[in-house]
Every structure is written in C-alpha cells, then in structure tokens.
Structure 1
Amino acid sequence: MFAQFLDEMAPLPQSIRPDQRSLLGAGIAAISAVFALATAVSAEPPPAKAPVPSTPAPAMAAAKKIDFEAQVLPILKKNCLSCHNATDAEADLVLETPATIAKGGEDGPVVVPHKGNESLLVKSAAREAKPYMPPKNNKVGAEILKPEEVALLQAWIDEGATGTVKAKVRPVKWHPLPPGLHPILAVAVSPDGQYAACGRANQIFIYHVPTGQTVARLTDPKLADKSGRSGWRSSAQRDFVQSLVFSPDGKVLASGEYRMVKLWRREPNLPQFTLGAEPATALALSPDGKFIATAAKDNVIRIWDSAAGKQLKELAGHSATVNALRFSPDNKRLASGGADKTIRVWDLTTGQNTTQVEAATEVSALAWVRDGKQLASAGGDKSVRLWDIPTAADAPLTQAKELTGHTQPVTALVASSDGKQLFSGSSDGSVRQWAVDSAKQVRQMDHGAPITALALSPNNKTLATAGGNHARIWNAEKGQQLGEMKGDHRASDRLDRATQFADFAKAEVAYWKDAVDAATKLQATKADAIKKATDAVTAADKAVTDAKAALEKVTDDKAKPAAEEAAKKATATKSSAERVLKLAQESAKEAEHRTADAKAASDKAAATQQTADTEVEKAKKAATDAEKAVRAVAFSPDGLTVATAGEDQIVHTWSAENGAGFDTFPSQLGGVQALAYAADGRIISAAEKNGAIVWRSGPNWTLARTIGTGDEKSPLSNRVVALDFSPDGKWIATGGGMPSRNGEVKIWNAADGALVREINPSHSDTVFSVRFSPDGKLLATGSADKFVKVFDTASGKLVKSISGHTHYVLCVSWRATGREIASSGADKTVKLWAFPSGEQIKSIEDFKKEVTSVRFVGYGGELLTASGDNRVRMLKEDGGNLREYGGSKGFIFSTALTPDGKIILGGGQDSVLRIWNAANGKNLFSLDPPPVEAPQKNASISATK
C-alpha cells in the first residue's frame, strides 16, 4: 500500500483531493501521505495492477505474461517476506526474487517450473499441503492468501517462474507543495540544550531553547530566494525535512531528504570587526544604535559607525584615562569622565567640547537623567552628583544635587529610560535606587561584593549588577533577586554531566559486582553438578563391571536372561550418567565463560568509574577556576539576554529571566572592561589589550557538505528518514530504502562524507530508525518489515534479529547500559527487549494510535513516547504513566530530548514546535511557524533530470 500510494500520488497537481488530505491525520497512512506530498516525487513507474482472476489458472496462462516484480512480489512482501527474506531466512527459504525462490529451502525445491499445481509454494499457500503458509495467528500479521492470489502465483509458476527484481529509475520531477502543508516530521535538540531544530516542509528552523527565539533559518545557497514549493523563500531542501540530528558536540546538524543528507555547521562566534588597535578603557552605544564611542589608552575618544566599523570622529581633551562614556537620550551629545577629574560634554555634530566641569575626585561613572537635562556622575568621594546641563554655549556644568548614602566610592551608574530613576553601585557592595526628582533613596539591594558595573533592561524592569566573581539579576521594581550568574556555564554544565555519569558508572559497578557474584555461585553449583555426575558415572561404571562379571558367572540358562537384563540396565544407566556428565560439563563451561565475561565487564566498569570520578574532580576544578572577577554587564535590545565579561577574557550570555547560561564569545586578548549590545543583537566588548570588538550576531549556520547527490545517481536510493551520529561524532548512520522493496542502512564518515560501510542485507522494507549503542559498537534499526535488528558497526554483520511487532517499527532506542532496547511501532505498542538475548521484557499497549517515537531518558529506565493520539508522555520503568506533556493538537511525528533528560521537544501535524521542562511537564514555548510569504513570480522549483 505504501509504495502504491507513492506511485499514485506522484503525478498529482498542486492541489490535494479531500480523501488524500484525510490520510494526513492517521498513522502510517499519515506518514505515507506526508512522504508523498512532500515532493510528489516519482522515482519509478507505478507497478501494474495485479489482475483479479475470474477464470482458472490455465486460462490466465494465455494472457499477457505475468510480471513478477509488479504482480507477484507485492503478495509475497505482504504475507511471506517477513519470515523468508535474505536477512532472516526461516527454513533457509528466501522468497525475494525468482532466483532465490528457485534455490528452495532446507526441505528442497518449493517450485516446479511449469507445474504450479505440483509446487509446494502453491500447495502451502492454498492450505493443501503442510506446512500451511502463512500459519494462522502468526506474530507478524501475515494473512492467508486469497484464492485469486494463489491463482496468480500458480499461473506465474506455470509460465516458468521467471522474472527479475530491478527498480526502474526515471528522471525526478519536482512539483509544488500544496499550500499550508507544513507538518513537522523531524525535531532535534543540541546536547547542551541550547538549540532546537525542526523541519517544516522543506525549511529548517533553529531556535534558542532558553528564550524560544528564532536564531536561524537554514538556507541552501542553491535554493536561496526561491519560493513556490512551501510558500517560504530560501529553502533548506527540495524535499520535506525527513530527519534531523545534532552531532555530540552540537556543532553540526544533519538533515535528511530525498536521496541526500546535508550537514550544517555552526560557525564559532567570530569578530565582525575591531574598532581601533589601542586598548579600550570605556565604551558606549548611542540610543539609536548608529554610533559607538570608545576611549583608548591614549585618552582620545573615537566615534564609530556601528554598521561598518568606520571611524567618524576623534574627540581629544582628556589628559588621563577616560573611565566613562554616555550618549545623551537624543543621540546628539556625548558625556565623558575620567581620571583627570573632569566631566565633559561633546557636541557630536561638530565634535566640540561644549561644556565641562572639574569634579572633586576621579570620575568613574556617568548617567543622563531627566530626559537629558541633567547628568549624574560618581567617583571616589562616595557620592552621586547631579549636574544641570547649561543652555548657553560654553557655560559650565553646575551641580544641582548630591545623593549620599554609600560608605565606599561609587563605581557604577545607570538610569531608567525616562531618566526619573537612578541606580548607583558602590565598592561597599550595595546598589541604591534613587528617585531623581526628590533625590531620595527608594530601596537598597546588596550584591555581596564590590560593584563594578550596572545595567538596566530596556523596559526598566530588570536590573543587572556585576562585581566580585559573579553577576546578579533583580526585579528592579521590587528589589528581589531573580538569579545569579557566575563562572562559565559550560564548565558548570560539564560538571553536571560528569557527576551524572559518575553516578551511573557507580551503579554499573554495583550491577556487575552482583553479576560476578551470581556467576561465581552458578559456577560453583555447576562444579558440584559435575562432581555428582562424575560420581554417578563412576558408580554406573562399577555397576556395569559388576553386572558383566555376574553375567559371566551365570551357568544356568534360566538365570542368564535376568543377568543380561541387569547388565543392559547398568549399561543404560552408565550411558545416561555420561550424558548427564557431558551436559554438566557443557553447562559448567558456559558458567565459566559467563563468570569470565562478568569479571571482565566488572573490571571495565570499575575502570570507567575511576575515570568518571577523575573527570568529576577535573570538572569541579575547571568550574571553580572559571569563577573570575566580572567587570561588565549589558542587556540585549529585547531584554531577554544579559551579557557579562571580565578577567576570564570571555563574554558570557545568560537568561535575563533566571540567569541560565547561554553562549560565549572567547579570546578577548585581555580582561574585558566594558560591554554594550547593538540594536541588531551584536555584542560590543572593550578589552585591556586591544580595541573594542564588534561580534557577529549569531549563531551562524552554514551548509558544510552533502552526502548523496539527490538524483538517480545518488548512493542513497530514496528518502533518508532516519539519522544518527555515533557517540564520538565520527560516523553518521542513515536509514531509508525503497518502500516495500528493500531497506537501506549505511554508515558514513562525518568529516568527509565518504561511505564507511553499507549494511546489506539489512531489512526487506524501509528503515525508519537507526540508533548507535552507547559505546558506538552496535547499531539498532527498526523497519517497516516489522523487525528490530542489531548490527556490528565495525563489520556490518547481523548480531540479533528481533521479531514481535505486528506492524511497522517506527523508532528504536538504547538504554544507557546497553542491555535494553526499546522499540515503538504502528501496532500501537512500545516493547522492551533484553540485549543480547532478544527476549521481550514487556509490551506497553496503552496507546490509541501509532507510537512514532520512543526514547530512554538520561541514564535511567524511564521512556519518552509520542503517538498519533496527540500525546507526549514520560513512562516509568514498569510502563506506567509518569507525566504528560500537553498542548499538541495533531498527529505527533517526532520528539527529542537532551542527554540529561531536562528538555523535551515535540512536533507534528499542526506545525508547532513545543518545548517542555521534562521535570515538571511545563510547556516552556509553543513556537508557531512564521507566516507564509507571498510567492515570487516564476520562482517555483523544478528539478527535472
């Protein structure tokens, strides 16, 4: 049905028929519809419809010769190939091609060419000869062949049982997508939880998880500035985004489409340009964002164009270091203050120093208040002074008020946007809020260390304070602390991950210790069994010897039969004892191997724990070492992000809501003295050993390389619906294949895109999921052929084939221990399997529709699931419901979660990306798609080859 559906949909025009649209909301039919409508690709001619015979087989033989691939193979795929395929050939019988059918199985030939009624294949299918095939109540949902199907099979054999299986490839022709069809088929989240990716139609959106802000829409340069397929310009792909996965380091995002994988690389945060070569001592940005002012060690103030980094003016006059710069609210003036104790106001149009005054002490901070009518200054005398700005030319600044209360020098000032509120920070560790008009203190906040910098959010509601080894954010209206920012959040995250892994490693040591104890006890039991069996053999052997000796002494013919019977029984007893001994020895040998394996695993676990403990100590030290003095702080234009910097020579960004760490901008060539945010989100930093740096706004994602060509020559035969990176990030596994024809599993080198290994044969139908084991040595796969399989990644050999699902297997997941696999399917179940035995641990059937996604959470046994009944759930180890993640309004196709299990993503039919807090189920963000853009004339994409 899946292949037939795709073939029938290929020639359709832009519109969708109502009956086809209804398919989008239901199960695998939904997946089939989305796959087909994504590009309306026809890679091969539609198979001929199998005739429904109304006449006996002989009459059919006279008709047009039967096409095995188009007519017979679909019947075998539906009802036979689950058990009789090249990977899992039950009874050594493979029914995939005429050639493999002709070879027969372990019981000999199953077809006799030109004699269909004598062929076992026909007799078994018609229930005329055992074994009846397919058997009733089979595990894979195969159905008994219908009379017309049996007749067709017989007719094919009567014709000689010939034919070929070869997909016929024809040029690819791309058609426009139906308007408004933008389901999310794939989502991914970076391992550090910073970025989320989702595919909508042929678009890829990157979001910042902590803020929910869009940070990128990925664009393939070859598809830029074109629309007409999805209603959005600048597409990432031609086809629907079928699969997404981040690399373990979060720097690469892989996306799968039709016959191609694209690797998108996140470029490091790089400077856009540097403002001057002299070390910067102060920095300011004009309110309109057009100008940047810097002061350098040469005591000269320079004005720069913020867009191009071009120097516009030089303002000379200070005779010592300039410590503070502030643009006026109207963007026309600049105030400066410095170690020469002077406060100066400059006209930016002329570059002239229009007024100035000499303060009592060195000036360390400035702020414009009362709509630019006054200027506040602070310095080493513990006071804040308010100066009236003169209206007459060349008139001096005159002091209007003095604000006192600090017990140490005042080091930082910031004013509200209307100039009515003023905040001052001091070396005494306090921050004081003042009402400017009344010159009275409103409240006080204690930072806990000498203040070096202050910043106020654009809406005046959040205050950031910096000093000592930390920064803090406050509710500026109530004086309540909202969060603390300290050190490098990356170091803190590494410590959290290292601690989690160390706990896991400790649990593994305990597990393998118990396993060794159990194996040792079992080995001792087996040794006792051998001793008992050996004693039994010895006793039996003596009994045989005695019975034979007794038989030789018998001279009475009447007594001889009894003696012979006794000897016979003794011999039988001996044989039985020897068999028991042999079994005991084999069992003991197995127990010995089990003990050895358990000890080896135990030793490995102990070594891993030791390494993990060492890593924890290193991470602790790194986190502590990162806690250096913070000198500067600034808010982003939207008020959602706070930037801090200082002695560690790195600019850090944090959540303005709770202080959670975001991003970093490294290598400052010296401690950072000052920070500012441009209107477009660029960060500007001033450091001790170079000029001010303007950083590119980011993150910046670029198309690094592609795997596959996207056409009929591509090494990928169809849509890449499954992707996974190996734990070390060196390999990428792809899954796909021709629906109802073959599964395709390949492993690629992530660095250069070269094919490392093709696992062939893998599955007999499309592979929907690929997952590397925690150690990267194994690859688990799930397929439409209803099997879960595990392959050795080094050799590609099949390690285990697991059956039990009665419909497509849509997702597989490894537990962190590597001893369990979870699988979910279109049969509305989640199943847990022991590995390597393949035995089913449990089957969870509390689902109303297809279970499209299943993932183990963190290092535990909880499971994250998503299903077509709009539900995203966390399940306990016993399969019970632990938590619901609500809000979804349509069929859910994909989920993702961070390795620590803290952040969950989900996306589906309604095109909304939802981000949840895994611990409490809170919906952090529901991210809607952007509006559809007006299509450009003659901009539809065509890829006819």
Structure 2
Amino acid sequence: MVKSYLKFEHSNTFGLVTSASSNAIWVRDDDIFGTARQTGSGRAVAGAGEEVLCWDIKKGELLGKWKDSACKAQVTVITQSKTDADIFAVGYEDGSIRIWDSRTATVIISFNGHKSAITQLAFDNAGVRLASGSRDTDIILWDLIAEVGLFKLRGHTDQVTSLNFLVPSPELLNEAGLNDHAGFLITTGKDALIKIWDLASQHCIETHVAQSNGECWSLGLAPDQSGCITGGNDGELKAWSIDESAMIEISKEKAGSENRKILTDRGSFYRNGKDRTTGISFHPKADYVAFHGAEKAVEIWRIRSETEVQKSLSRKRKRRKEKEAQRATENGEDSEIVDNEKPVEDVSAAPVTEVFVSYVIVRTGGKVRSFDWIRTKSSGKLQLLAATTNNQLEAYSVATLNKKNKDDEDMEYNRTLAVDIPGHRTDIRSVALSSDDRMLASASNGSLKIWNVRTQNCLRTLECGYSLCSAFLPGDKIVVIGNKDGELEVFDIASSTLLDTIKAHDGPVWSLQVHPDGKSLVSGSADKSAKFWNFQVVQEEIPGTKRTTPRLKLVHSRTLKVSDDILNVRFSPDARLLAVALLDNTVKVFFTDSLKLFLNLYGHKLPVLNMDISYDSKLIVTCSADKTVRLWGLDFGDCHKSFLAHEDSIMAVAFVPNNKEGNGHNFFSASKDRVIKYWDGDKFEHIQKLAGHHGEIWAMTISHSGEFIVTASHDKSLRTWQQTDEPLFLEEEREKELEEIYDNNLAASLEQEEDGDGEKAEAVDAGKQTTDTLMAGEKIMEALDLGMEDLEVVREWRALKAKQPNAAPPSRNPLYIALGNISAEQHLLNVVQRIPAAALQDALLVLPFSKVSALFTFLNIWASREWNIPLTCRVLFFMLKTHHRQIIASKLMRPMLDSIRSSLRRVLTRQKDEMGFNISALQFVGQQIKAHSTKDYIDEQVWEEQDRQTGTGKKRVFSSIA
C-alpha cells in the first residue's frame, strides 16, 4: 500500500510591521462622517512580504490584512487612488498589479504585463487610468474601466524610478477646447534620463539628461505642476520648470510647437546627505519639500516666497557692494562704485539655491525606506510618516516657520507616534516554544519578544544582548537567552524583568538545551566548553527589609572541555546521551552521566550548524553549511543516509517530537535558500517543500504536539506552518514539482519570444502571455470546435424537421446536455465571460486565424440576439485589429461582417440614446434638488482654500443660502 502523509500548509505570518521591499503610505481614518476623519492620526498602509497591512498609527493596532492566496511574490509598491480613497493599486515582485478595495479587502482587478518587479505606480486625476513602471524598463498604461492594458511605452534603458501624470489646468484645457485630451506622462529612469510622453500619440516628445553623475533615482512633482525636482547620486538635486502653455500647443499640434519645450532646467543644488536621493515629495498644501536617501534621515527644505527671494538677493547685492567698496578703499582707489547690476525682477530667473533652503533634518530610528506626508488638520505643524528598513513605522511632527521662531537656528521636531512593538528591529536569531505550545519566544540583537501563538499578538518585549539561542524553562514562566558576549540572561515573563545575568563563557553561547528531566540545562560555547547548570531556588533578601523572596538561580555544576568551538548541543530524549557539534565538522556523542566519549560522527565537509535526536533516541539528524543533511544511527554511529537537501547552508533541523501517527522519524530542515523541507527519515524520501519566506531562514522550532512549526527569517517575519487533514502522496507531490518547473520554463520561453520579435517599437501592446492565458485560449478553441459541430448538427436537424415535422431531436454533445441542454453559442459566451477582462486579449491571441471565421460566426449570433454587447464589441474590435489584413482579404468573411455591422449599429444606437436620456434626466433631477434646497454643501478642499486666503480658522459647516 502506498504510504500517505499529512500535508503542512502556511497558516500565519506575524512579526512584520513593514518590509524593506515596499513603501508605506498614509491614509485618512475610515470614519468618513463626523470629525474623526479630520482629527484622527490616520492609518498607515504598508507592504509586509506578500501581504499589505493596514495599521492604526495611534494605537499601533493591525486593522486589516490584504492577501491574495494565489500570489507568493513580495509587495514592492503601493499607491492610493486620487478620487476614491478606498481604492489602492499594489505592485508585486513578479510584475503583477492588483487593484484592492480596502473596505472589503478584496482584489477588484488583476493586471499582468511586466516581466519583473513593479517599481512605480500612479493613478491619473480622474482615477480611471493607472501607469506602471518596472525593472524591465517598460511603462504600461492600464484602463481601469475596461480592465485592459492600453499600451506599453519603451524608451528607458534601465529600471523606471518614478512616473507622474502631467495634465494642464482645466481652465487652459477649456479655453483650448481639449477637454478629452489624454494628457502627458513624465518619467525618470536609472539610465539618468527624464522623459515626457504624449499619451495621445503614444510617443516620447522630450528627453533630457536628469542627472550629471550617474543614475536618476527619484522625481517629485509640485502640487500645482509648475515644476519638479529630480534626485540622483551624491545628494545632487536638479530643479525643472514645467511650461503648461507648451503642453497646450503640443496637444493642439500647432505649427512650430515641435520646437517648444515643456521642461526647462533651472539648475542644480545639493542636499546635506551625500547618498543617493531615493524619495522626493512636495507638501500638498505648505511650501515645503522633503528628500530622503538610504540614511537615517528625512531632510525638509523650505520653498521661499517671491518677496523672500527678492530680499535675499538684495541683501547679497548689498554685501557684495560693501566688500567692493572696502577693497577699493584698501587699494586707495575711488570708493564710489557704479551699481550696474539690475535687481532680479522675475524670481523664475533667480538661482535655484535662493528658492530652496534647508529647514530641518528629521533623524529617524532606522534607514528610511519611504515617507509620506500626514494630511491632518494640525495647528501649524508639518507631519510625516516614515517607514524604515528595520521594520517600524514612525510619525514625526515638525514646527513650521512663524514669527516666534524665525530667528531660531534649529527647528524642533518630535516623534509623536510609532508602530514598532509588533516586530523586531534586527534579524531573529532564535525561536523557542513553551511546553503547552501557546507561547513563542523570539530573540534578536537587542530584544526578546514573547508572542501568543494563537492570536499572533506580542505579549512582552524585553531588552537583551545579541541573542544566539533561547529556551523556556519548565513552568513556562522563565526564558533563558544565550548571547554573543558569553552571557546567560534569565528573564521572568510575568513581571517583564531580567532576573539574572551570568557570565557563563568566554566566547559566544551558540546553543543551549534544557535537560529532559527539567532540572538543569547545558550551554555550548565558542570557548570550547559545554557547561551544565542546575536550577536552584534561593531565598533572597528584599533590599531595605528583612523579608525574603524566592528566586531562581542557575548554579554551575560540571564542565565538558572539547578540542574545538561548540556550535550546537543536544540531549537525547532518554537523557542517556549528549551530542556536541564542533567547528571541526564532527559531532561527538558523550554519555550524559560520565561525560565519556561514546561516538564520533564525521562525514560533513563544513561545520554542523544544527542537529536533533528522534523521540526514541535511535536516530540523530545533522545539518551543515555544506548543504547536506545526514542521518546517523545512535547505536553504532553509522551514517544511514546523506541528502543534498538544499541550495544553501542549512540552518536548522528538527524531528517530529512524538510518534502519534508513525511519523516519529520524519524531520524538517530549514535553509538560507528560503525553503523548508519535510523528510521521511525511515524511507529517506523528500515529502514536501514549504516555500514562502523572502529571506534566509535563521531559526526553526517544532511544536511539542508536532502539529505545527515556526520559522524565523531575514525578512523579519515569523511564520507558522500547520499540519492539515489533507493526505499527501509522494508521486502527486513530484508531479506538481515537475509541472511547476515546466510552467516556469514555459513562461521564460514566452518572454524570450516576445523579446525576439524584431526591433523594439516605442509603443506596443500591453500584453503578457502566461500559462493562465494559454489555458484560457485553449478553452475558447475547444468551445469553438464543439460549437461549430453543434451548429452543423442543429442546422441539419432543422432542415430535416422542415420536411419531416416529427423528426427526433439531434444527438448533441454530452457536455451541452450536462450543462442543462444549453445552446452552443450560450456555452461559448459563458466560457469567454469567465475569462478575466485583463487576460481576455492575451487569450484571444492564442487563436490561429483558422478559428477566426468560427468566432465571427458566434459574434454575429451574439450581436443579433443582443447578448453582452460590451463583451461582443471588445472581442470583435480586438480580432479586427489583430487580423486586419487577412480578414479584408477573405471573401467568406465580408457578408458576415456586414451582418455584424448592421446588428451592432442598431443595438449601439439604441444604447447611446438610452444613456443620453438618462444623463439628461439625472441633470434635471440635480437641478430640481438644488433649486428647492435651503443648504449647500461646500467641499472640504474649497473651504480650506478659502481659510488660507482669508486667514480665518473656522470649522467647515453647511452654509445656509436660503
């Protein structure tokens, strides 16, 4: 009988606040009504691995988690729609884009057009188009209404680092009669170029060298689109002015407009940090702009007003005249100097260094990954949200320039809020579970955290040294940490206190384990010794009183000296043996009572990093930096099997701790190749591969029940993998792995075919063939073949019935009978409707021209019966565009096209009339409501604008107009 195993699946991810791979953005609170939306601190939406997390900044609570189970790639970029605050676009590392609805935490649309990670996303002002830039150098414009890619723009030779829509002001567009103009796109790339694309003609109309010293990493566009700043290496920044009138002329295609330039270089200036500038953002309302690089700082600069620039220039002119007069007096010349220098009337001609002045440097708690302005109503303060690479979100408040502090040199800033408790700042180096599997201890450099395994909440955070190993003591109230300084730190969880620090070793404590009897522990160190520590409860006097309190102490009892550094120690479950892994690639097994050498296990080519002994003390498994796992017998020390298990160093192995289902010799291995593997130690079979981490796995522990494992990774996440009731068969698992390899190879070959299609055009179709689109295309072909056969059968039966009214009904394909005896045209429509709109065009490209006439036959039936007219039109127009030459050359298809045209024209004319009538009716209803109402709603932005102009600080109200 074929042996079956129980499958393990990823169940939870926790310990992540924000990933270093993605940006974080600030959004308003959910409560739209009342004052909560304006006065709350808002939410932070941040990428965390393959998930998007929504945090309450004030409470530090996780409000929501957006995860697509089909997606395993990391989030790389997040942006919010400008018109609908609940709509977010999220880009992933595999080149896919998902549009999320934050209220329901569901994916509305999925797009797949890029070959590599998405680097930038931008919504247009109307919220109906999305532009995406990627590491594959392409820019794609997506239509969010039709759910399709419009076109792909090619021009950059390295990854796209920023993109923004450029649209002239509505007043200028109205004057020019260009209300329906597609607008422009401004992009920068790592190739140091800044480009402007005309979206109407789908061509690049301007290219400038953005930076003089290598790559261009970022672009910040002014809120009024009057200018922008680009950032490159060495802290270099370049200012550009944007000419709106030139955009209008180019849009109208006026004579001579080809010589007009939209962008004009205003000059360079340098920020204080000398690293590359990876983020630039203008404040949406105040005259400030902020920059950040890869350092622990956000620099805020002030934009001077025209009067301030004039004052500064006149002051410098005055100083210059004074110096010249002084120099003339010293040389004995006539001190009267004629002032030929004219004052600068136009501030736009002033040096850019006079316009932008450094205001304050906000020092953050980690290297800045991204930042976003917090747009709450605050009393004259700038607020920003910074996401750092060390897994935390911080909110800062900066005082703005006013009369009181104009003379102060340094502006003050405060860290007002932070989300940092639910995660470690540094890599987690060890994990340990309590005896009842309800609590998890995770330790890193500087902090020990205790987690509730069921709810994933952080219960305690304690400061510790650079932790390398950890263990719960019997009773689960105390945790022992071994650190890099050779110390054992003893923590009490209930009181969150450090009970004791013992200088145990002269080198790092690499490993420790509690004795199976629960009365002592052993620690192994790089000082070539393993020390045994007994647990003793001593009565300690409370300072200042005569009362005593019981306290746990670790008392050193024995020392085992060995020939090399100890990397790992392990007791056998029967407590008879102690295994010690040494730096010389060997494992020595000693008797626990006498500490005499019993076995010497050698065979690994590099040091053994971890090991474990089976529940019956008969097998020991060792893993090494040589990428192999070895199984040894503990009776004679013979090597049963050696596996080349992973593609990188193996950091942890663990046997299933009991033999409930005959799986006591099954074990897990975790490696720096980001994968966990499940093995059968009796049959030497690889059972299952668990992939999900986005960084090297440093530590792993298995529950005492054997029902779940916990892993910790360089990506700062903790993941639990739960055993399910689903049986797993080895043959099926191997087949799945082969299919995965085949799919990956197929996708790679499809990409190569796309790349090899002649010379790259500047604008091409935004499509990408995937295995899903190929399967969808094959389903359409299959439905077409069945449909044409069925149409022929039904046509013959109708001809027969005209002659013989009592003729028996035709014998149709069993598939149609099973689906409720539906017609062939209905079945094909159902198949096409089930294909996602974003993948439909790529699926239709799979059809050869020989199938096009069959498809047009069905399109004709759909049009005449008025079935799903939008879908019918979309398929028809795409096929006409794709196969235009062959269709016009085909005599068979002309009468069919005439029939489709007349049917569609009739239906579309009626639909157009209906829509026109409905729009007019809605406008009339709106006018009636407005005429009879006594209150008018003033939009928040309009009111704030009036506030700024009048200088009054009134709250927004409904102003009475009756």
TM-score normalized by structure 1? 0.29
Task: Name whichever structure is richer in strand by fraction.
Answer: 2
In terms of Rg, which structure is larger? Answer: 1
TM-score normalized by structure 2? 0.29
